[in-house]
Amino acid sequence: VDKMPKYETGGLLRNKPILGGVVLTILHIIFLFLAGLTFELVFLSVLNTLILNYFILYLFLNFFFQFGFLALFLLFIVPKGMKLPDLTFSFKDYAEKIRLSTLKPIMRNILIGVGSFIIFCIIVLIGAVTLGNYVFSPEILFRNPSFAGLGWFLFVIMLIPGIWEEIAYRGVIFPMLSKKYSLKTSIIISSLIFGFAHSFNILNLIFSGLDFFIILFYVGAQIIYATFLGVAFAYMYIKTKSLIPGIILHYLIDSVGQLFLNTLISDIFLEGIFLICFVGVIPAILIVIFVKFAVKTENEDDLITRS
């Protein structure tokens, strides 16, 4: 792995940013688990009533616990307790360090996020129509939430990965890596860690009743396409010097993007091609090209300040 000039700082996780990224990922999952556990313990006596009679209220309460726990983790514990991605002395310093406070040029950042999502949708739709039977079903996004599907609640729940995964993997982990490795190497490693994070989705499917091979197939495909999309997210982050375009793109893929993933593919080999190539590889390449030409910089090696 190509190394940058000597990297000196205190703290094991800052000195070993790959380890730091893996630890951050595991803690991210643990905090989500703790959020769910705390929610169930707090509402244990009325949990069944909430689920059966007040399902939307149940969803919102669960959302607030997850969102709140991750806010505590990534806005307080990570910068103040773990001192990541660097030593910071205030929330303002932290927000600037991870590029969360970089809003301007706001219209450009919004257009890059939305434009990248349009590219994603076009490629996914081409793959869906070519390899399977695509079904246009707006109720995926607009029906009332139920056990059969989250409907419009997708616009709420997907704020969690859209915001917090971008803060974790691009805002915190990428700057840690870029202080020790070259930008290209940092993009690759951060994307691999981002892909690795999706391996934990096997825990959500293990008790679903699906065949274990099918579970491995879907989780494996998700790890691969998430890794490639992670490259696009990271490149967008360093080119725009802002988390905002990535948050917008990530949120739109996870919410509105469900509308374009509604395709039936009978052949598992073709489904693998669809998920890896048309959801991951091709959109990632085209988004990188789009961002490269949309954002002009004099020298890409100066995109991240190495302090």
In tens digits, what is the pLDDT along the chain, a chain of 307 residues? Answer: 455 555 444 488 999 999 999 999 999 999 999 999 999 999 999 999 999 999 999 999 999 999 999 999 999 999 999 999 988 778 999 999 999 998 889 999 999 999 999 999 999 999 999 999 999 999 999 999 999 899 999 999 999 999 999 999 999 999 999 999 999 999 999 999 999 999 999 988 887 778 889 999 999 999 999 999 999 999 999 999 999 999 999 999 999 999 999 999 999 999 999 999 999 999 999 999 999 999 986 555 555 444 3
Rg (CA), the chain: 20
Q: Is 141 inside any structural domain?
A: yes
Question: Nearest Cα to 34, choosing from 62, 75, 57, 55?
Answer: 62
Give me the residues paired with residue 263 across strands: 134
- Going from the C-alpha of 289 to that of each of 151, 227, 286, 304, the distances in angstroms are 33, 17, 5, 19
Q: Is 1 inside any structural domain?
A: no
Q: Is 307 inside any structural domain?
A: no
DSSP-assigned letters across all residues of 206-233: TTS---HHHHHHHHHHHHHHHHHHHHHH
Look at residue 8 in the predicted model and tell me its pLDDT. Answer: 46
Residue with structure tokens 């996004």? 141
Q: What are phi and psi of 237, to 5 degrees?
A: -65, -45
Look at residue 9 in the predicted model and tell me its pLDDT. Answer: 45
Distance CA 157, CA 163 (A): 11
Q: Is 240 inside any structural domain?
A: yes
Q: What torsion do the CA atoms of 114, 120, 121, 122 make, to the nearest 10 degrees?
A: 110
Q: Residue 99, by phi and psi: left (phi above 0), alpha (psi -120 to 50) or beta?
A: left
Evaluate the omega torsion of the peptide bond into residue 105 and state whether it is cis, within 30 degrees of 0: yes
Look at residue 206 in the predicted model and tell me its pLDDT. Answer: 84
User: Residue 17: exposed, middle, or buried by beta-carbon count in 10 A (0-12, 13-18, 19+)?
Assistant: buried
Give me the domain span that covers residue 62: 12-302
Q: Is 224 inside any structural domain?
A: yes
DSSP-assigned letters across all residues of 269-305: HHHHHIIIIIIIIHHHHHHHHHHHHHS--S-GGGSS-
Q: Is 5 inside any structural domain?
A: no
Continuous segment of H or E residues that includes residue 254:
helix 244-254
Asked if residues 24 and 70 have their Cβ atoms less than 8 Å apart, the reply is: no
Q: What are phi and psi of 133, to 5 degrees?
A: -110, 100
- Going from the C-alpha of 284 to that of each of 55, 110, 121, 175, 182, the distances in angstroms are 37, 18, 12, 21, 20
Give me the residues paired with residue 181 across strands: 3
Q: Encoding tokens for residue 268?
A: 């598992």
Asked if residues 24 and 173 have their Cβ atoms less than 8 Å apart, the reply is: yes
Q: Is 179 inside any structural domain?
A: yes
Residue with structure tokens 């030409």? 293
Provide the terminal-to-terminal Cα distance of the chain, rounded to the nearest Å: 21
The answer to whether the pTM exceeds 0.85 is yes
Number of domains in the chain: 1
Look at residue 2 in the predicted model and tell me its pLDDT. Answer: 53
